[in-house]
Amino acid sequence: MYWVNESVFYHIYPLGFCGAPRINDGQQEYRLDKVLDFIPHFKEMGVNAIYFGPVFMSTTHGYDTNDYFQIDNRLGDNESFANICEKLHENGIRVVLDGVFNHVGRGFWAFRDIQEKKQDSPYCSWFQNLNFGGNSPWGDPFWYEGWEGNFDLVKFNLRHPDVKKHLFDAVAMWMDKFHIDGLRLDVAYCMDQDFLRDLKNFCKSRDPQFWLMGEIIHGDYARLANPDLLDSCTNYECYKGIYSSHNDHNYFEIAHSLNRQFANGGIYHNIYTYNFVDNHDVNRLASTIRDERNIKNCYTVEYFMPGVPSVYYGSEWGIKGEKNNTDHDYPLRPCVNTEDIEDNELYRHICRLGAVRRKYKALKYGSFENVVIRNEQLVFKRRSEDETVYVAVNLSDDNYEVDFHTDGGVKLFDVFDGKTEFDVNGSHTRISIPPHGTRVLILTDGGKPEYPDGTPETAELSSVEEKQQSLRPLPEIGTPGKYRHFKGGEYEFICIAKDTETSEEFVIYKETSGEGRIWSRPVAIFYQYVDHNGELVPRFELI
């Protein structure tokens, strides 16, 4: 599908992103409106599609839907969300929603009707294996099937015509009112295939460009991602292969997966997979990767392998998050505000990846082939009718030189750094890859290619320390008083606290206006310079 091939996704888990209460308190708040403040951020990253996690009425985490026709009151309402979608579309950003159709919450109206009327409810057949031969683990005088043993998530009978009509009516409303461009189907791997087939026919009849992507965490992707069922699926195999290859210094692992999936004759060469390095269900990449210097190369592989890349909100500047036995998935789903946007080296790298991907057709549509595979170096080729691009990554501590044969040509130009070139002699070249670095090499017959917008200058973030020498000094760590954020907000320093698990130190500070909310931020981030409108300024300045 053309628009998907041209896309870079940004994945938002709305309830976490907005800092909404974990349990629905019934209060109407328009927290999700703040996503509009992020539009300049999206555009700088080259993001042109947003995948929103659950946005519909629920009791807790969003995947326990109570009403498919109403936006969760913790996020806004139907009118406010329609406005969000309209503004995103006006800025060239498409909208994909989470279709949680496999199960609902115990607060879903039809399930509550059964709790009230028992066998007399007309909705008993709406739910999978619901019967009155025993009690549920929640004490109901009937039994039902919960999703994978989770009885707070009541599994639908997706073969029931009234269930199907109810869900399709909801999708029609989303398409008509919010003008959504696609759906991510939660736990598609365990959903009824006849339902998926009918859903695809329904959606495509209304909009042939509508995109259906399914969550598949194991098994054969082509079982569901095929012309009859879904357009795409989550690529969990390569998610694991990317971080594991970098952690183990073993590019053979991801190279094997890429070859198996996408090379000529690969099993998924006809599937444009949804690629990611972290999401709302798995630990953040910055917490998973053992050597943070390799995070950038993880994104390089993700962006330039076949399929559509995505960035999970906040990971573009390297925030961390790990599951635990107390808060479970919540550490993966923090509140993020525009003041948290960090112009660091990783962020610039990801922005650059987006600019390069947008520019070159081969990186979006081209064939795939591994060219050089070593434990710490990988070179692969993407080729379209009129472009050949070599992507090279190096996770060693040293500059590394590799030789390989090219598809003819005279020169290789690195469009990632915008300055380096290599000669090709008789279809043979020798290139160098910087430590923990990336090269994206365009093969030409000698003429320089047209570089993407925003080609970096020779002095990048490595020069920040030199520039800081001429700036006013940062406040001494722990200095009490009132601080002003570089975007204008004012805060009162409270104290420095230490995480009991990691020993990482955080600044605790409080808003001096508004709701007087209390915030925390790592010391290293609180006391640092940021690039604001081309000028290095303290993130927080003592006033």
In this structure, what CATH number is given to the domain that contains residue 538? 2.30.30.320
Report the alpha-carbon distance of residue 297 to residue 278 in Å, rounded.
14
In a domain, 175, yes or no: yes
Q: What is the mean pLDDT of the chain?
A: 93
In a domain, 279, yes or no: yes
Residue 4's pLDDT band (boundaries 50, 70, 90)? very high
Of 1-10, 76-85, 270-279, 502-511, the least confident? 502-511
Same domain (yes/no): 417, 518: no
Mean pLDDT value across residues 340-360? 93
Same domain (yes/no): 52, 179: yes
Report the alpha-carbon distance of residue 468 to residue 157 in Å, rounded.
62
Provide the pLDDT for residue 1: 60
In a domain, 492, yes or no: yes
Of 32-46, 372-386, 443-457, 476-490, the least confident? 443-457
Report which residue type is found at 271: I
Provide the pLDDT for residue 403: 95
Residue 289, pLDDT > 60, answer yes
Residues in contact with 540: Cβ distance below 8 Å, sequence separation at least 6, in sequence order: 475, 483, 484, 485, 486, 491, 526, 527
In a domain, 531, yes or no: yes
478 or 115, which is more confident:
115
* 508 DSSP β-pair partners: 495, 520
Share of the chain above pLDDT 90, in %: 84
Mean pLDDT value across residues 230-255? 98
In a domain, 455, yes or no: no
pTM, to two decimals:
0.85
Provide the pLDDT for residue 205: 97
In a domain, 197, yes or no: yes
* 429 DSSP β-pair partners: 404, 424
Question: What is the domain extent for residue 260?
Answer: 2-116+161-359
Of 59-63, 271-275, 347-351, 518-522, the least confident? 518-522
Report the alpha-carbon distance of residue 260 to residue 293 in Å, rounded.
28
Same domain (yes/no): 355, 395: no
Same domain (yes/no): 82, 208: yes
In a domain, 429, yes or no: yes
Of 241-245, 286-290, 500-504, the least confident? 500-504
Same domain (yes/no): 353, 414: no
Contact 79, 96 (CB under 8 A): no
Residue 470's pLDDT band (boundaries 50, 70, 90)? low
DSSP type of residue 328: B
CATH value at residue 33: 3.20.20.80
Report the alpha-carbon distance of residue 190 to residue 49 in Å, rounded.
26
Same domain (yes/no): 318, 278: yes
CATH value at residue 374: 2.60.40.1180
Same domain (yes/no): 305, 440: no
Residue 502's pLDDT band (boundaries 50, 70, 90)? low
Which of 444, 479, 494 corresponds to the end of one domain? 444
In a domain, 291, yes or no: yes
Same domain (yes/no): 168, 30: yes
Q: Which ranges in 222-340 belong to alpha helices (H)?
A: 236-248, 251-262, 285-288, 295-304
Domain count, the chain: 3
Same domain (yes/no): 104, 218: yes
Closest CA to 243 of 281, 294, 279, 315: 294
Same domain (yes/no): 257, 183: yes
Planar angle of CA 415, 421, 426, nearest 5 degrees: 120
Provide the pLDDT for residue 487: 82
Provide the pLDDT for residue 451: 82
Which of 359, 394, 429 corresponds to the end of one domain? 359
Residue 499's pLDDT band (boundaries 50, 70, 90)? confident
Closest CA to 154 of 171, 138, 170: 138
Provide the pLDDT for residue 534: 63
Mean pLDDT value across residues 253-274? 97
Same domain (yes/no): 331, 202: yes
Q: What 3-state DSSP class applies to 233?
A: strand
What angle, 0 to 180 degrees and rounded to 10, lies between the N-to-C axes of helices 251-262 and 236-248?
Answer: 160
Mean pLDDT value across residues 18-42? 97
Contact 490, 462 (CB under 8 A): no
Provide the pLDDT for residue 501: 66
Provide the pLDDT for residue 267: 97
Residue 78's H or E segment, with its range, is helix 78-90
Residue 452's pLDDT band (boundaries 50, 70, 90)? confident
Which of 395, 429, 444 corresponds to the end of one domain? 444
Same domain (yes/no): 277, 421: no
Provide the pLDDT for residue 505: 80
Provide the pLDDT for residue 460: 41
